[in-house]
A = this chain, B = another copy of it.
Amino acid sequence: MKIALDAMGGDFAPKNPVEGAVAALRDFSDVSVVFVGDETAVRAELSLHDADHLADRISFYHTTQVVEMSDSGLDSVRKKKDSSVSRAVDLVKSGGADAIVSAGHTGALVAAATIKLRTLPGIDRAGLAVLIPAEGGVFILIDGGANLDPAPEHIVGFAVMGTIYARELLGCSEPKVGLLNIGSEASKGTDFARECHRLLSAAPIRFAGNVEGHGIFKRPVDVVVCDGYVGNIMLKTIEGLAKTFFSWMRAELKSSWIRMLGAFLARGAFRAVKNRTSTDEYGGTPLLGVNGICIKAHGNSSARALRNAIRVARAAVEQRVNERIIEAIQAHHEKVPEPEAAAA
């Protein structure tokens, strides 16, 4: 399968995308990569790696524009038609690639994918489905930041998509869905949250009611739904706090020789917990709901994270996630609010 890689996306582009792609090409022999971006810059990076034996699985799509973090997502699609992210989406639309991987501007990827690929039949808004480490496993948070101001009906779409993704990815036969809120009772939260609760209660999913931030890590549910504004803030808070923990531990452990010895003996435990919370290992987050496989990697992705984002893209193509979402929605067509005619 062919992955369109946004070679200019992310804080360390094209260096990390190129290095990550080389690692993915080495590890997954069924993957080929088309580097979308400044071809000269990409070739220069590529020359730093021993990648000659991978040449038959590498191609290039030269682009001249780059989306900046200060650009608005929608404007970037309209005004920067030759940006790496826009062209990568074009490739998937035309069938020139099976999936997109981008560590660039989230809003630009969401806008390009939604406008060019359209949403899946029955889905009005795409959502980023993020894996969050918890006790005894992981759960899926959707939306991690694709749509900041969704309507309650869109949250139902997130719940349906999250359910299918949890079934495919986590192997839950009947995934439970919780609504992220500030209290467990149905009456709690904003008007928006209460309306979401009402719609989710009637939706064709296994709705377990509201969940709260201090409870979710015990994994009472497999899927947590929320709007993209709250989801993105929560996600980054988790990331920030995980790093701060290790920084606190490091400082405390260095304060005496005895503690340093203890830390040395227990170093495997620290490494294991660190790996569990490392965004590098998860690599990429699928943008569910658009008619094509789009994987968003973190803006500051390492090469390892980008290699893993390509792994996630490969799995999403193999699992036919989008086809399954369409099937599930069609099966429950009459129960899903405001179904649209097939857009694709």
B266-A253 in contact (CB<8A):
yes
Asked, given contacts A69-B185, A149-B190, whether A266 binds B266 with beta carbons under 8 Å apart, the answer is yes
A212-B190 in contact (CB<8A):
no
Cβ of A263 within 8 Å of any chain B Cβ, yes or no, is yes
B242-A269 in contact (CB<8A):
no
Q: How many residues of A contact B (CB 8 A)?
A: 67
Interface centre among A72, A248, A268 (most CB of B within 10 A): A248
Copies in the complex: 2
Q: How far is the CA of A201 from the CA of B272 in the complex (A)?
A: 43
- Nearest-Cβ distance from residue A268 to partner chain B, whole angstroms: 6
Cβ of A96 within 8 Å of any chain B Cβ, yes or no, is no
Asked, given contacts A213-B235, A213-B238, A242-B245, whether A229 binds B262 with beta carbons under 8 Å apart, the answer is no
Interface centre among A189, A212, A244, A245 (most CB of B within 10 A): A244
17 more A-B contacts (CB under 8 A) besides A180-B233, A230-B230?
A69-B183, A70-B185, A134-B244, A135-B247, A189-B229, A212-B236, A213-B239, A213-B240, A214-B236, A215-B240, A217-B243, A234-B234, A241-B241, A242-B245, A262-B263, A262-B266, A265-B265
| Leading 6 A-B pairs by shortest Cβ distance | A262-B265, A262-B266, A213-B236, A213-B237, A252-B269, A214-B240
